[in-house]
Amino acid sequence: MFSERSIRSRFIVQLIITTFALMIIFSSLLYLYIQSSIYDEKREEMINFAENICSYRSVVEAQDNSNDALLGLNVELVKHHTPENKAQIFERDIQEQTQLVLFYPFNVEEQSYIKITKDITPTKHLLKKILNAIFIINAIGFLLVIVYAIIFSKMLIAPIKGLNRRLSNMNEHMIRPIVVEELPDEFIPLGESINHLINRIQNFVKYQKELFIGAAHELKTPLAVMKLKNQVTTIKKREPQEYIEAIKVSNKSIDEMNAIVGSILNIGRQEGAQLETPIQADVIDILRRKANDFALLAESEGKALEMQFEPNAFMCTLQESLLNQIIQNLLQNALKFTPEGKKVRLQSHMNDEGLLIEVVDEGCGIDDTVDLFAPFKRQGSKSGAGLGLFLAKSAADALGGELSLRNRDDDLGTVASLLLRSKLHCILPLK
């Protein structure tokens, strides 16, 4: 609790120091105000006495029928000299008494003054009691502030301690999202960020196991074919052409394994790309450049690639290579499953959450019951290692985006969507 690095300790210390300083300042000002008010009242009473005497009026008449002001009062006529013949008032201590003395001009030519002495010892005792009371109240208030600071700081860090307990008890087999509705409003963004991280960890653990199992299975099949073909070939002597055919089959299996190994290496490269420093880039400009690259490929295959981008610009801070990888994979899949003479459309528009990028094809659609983002999951009879969408999903998670696949409403193809949320980006004005 008293560590120099503890936020709670620093909060308590700063609150105590600030409260102590404020109490000292406020108490001093209050005491000085009370003291000044009482002394001003005493001085005004004595001057009124002197003025009333000089005008030969009744002393009691000047006090508005109040006899308390006459207690402890002593009046006499003395010879005295003051600068400029002005009234002079001062305080003096005699033995155990405190007196307030006033010299008021009575006859300037004869230098005679009215000397009024007022015993203010009870007033001094009253001020001392007031000062003691202020000290006691401040001490009690200071203790209450310390108790309040401890309780309030404990209440502030309670959500953090709760999050810490939840996270410390988690492992890769028991990861549960945090219920953000139970958190204070100030901690909701933190809870959402932790849940996003937990979701990424869950997907990573899930797909990591599937990746290992899938890689072993995918590599085992071509190896088994090669071994079986070679065993059959070596059972007896054969014609040279048969040996050539066996070698061709082996080479084909090797090419398939190389494709799988290459895709696995791409996973490692993508993890490295996730560690790259994000830069500010225009997403719409990236989409245009990528669409122009694939337009020629689509034309060579007898297909059309259409583009429709809104808004004109959308600036964000991200790893550009990850976004390129996502768009490239979605366009490759769309062109792969779109028949000749059909078209693919790359489009973007704003919605309530951010920028929605969509690749719409006119292919065979997808099976909604299959997790196509899992490694080595293939759709239809098309060739491929089945790691493209897995890589795209990992890249989207790294960007803080959301990647999804669905069939078109008219069941005439597939819509692949990438959502980049606006709270992490900013929109440029229209050109």
Residue 403 lies in a domain: yes
CATH number of the domain residue 327 falls in: 3.30.565.10
Looking at residue 357, what is its pLDDT?
92
Count Cβ atoms below 10 Å from residue 381 Cβ, excluding itself. 5
Same structural domain, 282 and 428? yes
The total number of structural domains in the chain stands at 3
Same structural domain, 35 and 112? yes
Angstrom CA distances, 303 to 306, 343, 358, 412, stand at 10, 6, 18, 16
Same structural domain, 240 and 295? no
Q: For 213-229, write each residue's pLDDT tens digit.
A: 666 666 676 777 777 77
Last residue of a domain, one of 273, 291, 323: 273
Q: For 275-301, write each residue's pLDDT tens digit.
A: 567 788 888 999 998 888 888 888 888
Dig out the tokens for 117 from the structure. 């002495």
Instruction: Tell me, yes or no, if the pTM score tops 0.85.
Output: no
Same structural domain, 120 and 244? no
Same structural domain, 264 and 290? no
Same structural domain, 42 and 64? yes
What domain range includes position 428?
276-431
Residue 1 lies in a domain: no
Looking at residue 346, what is its pLDDT?
92
Work out the angle at residue 314's Cα, subtended by the Cα atoms of residues 312 and 317, and round it to the nearest 5 degrees. Answer: 155
Work out the angle at residue 216's Cα, subtended by the Cα atoms of residues 276 and 324, and round it to the nearest 5 degrees. Answer: 25
Same structural domain, 201 and 246? yes
Q: Where are the alpha helices (DSSP H) in 359-407?
A: 388-399
Instruction: Find residue 74's DSSP bridge partners.
Output: 117
Same structural domain, 254 and 368? no
- In the chain, which stretches have pLDDT less than 70? 1-5, 56-72, 81-85, 169-174, 207-219, 221, 260, 262-276, 375-387, 422-431
Residue 371 lies in a domain: yes
Q: Do the Cβ atoms of 243 and 408 come closer than 8 Å?
A: no
Distance (Å, whole) CA 428 – CA 431: 8
Residue 163 lies in a domain: no
Looking at residue 275, what is its pLDDT?
56
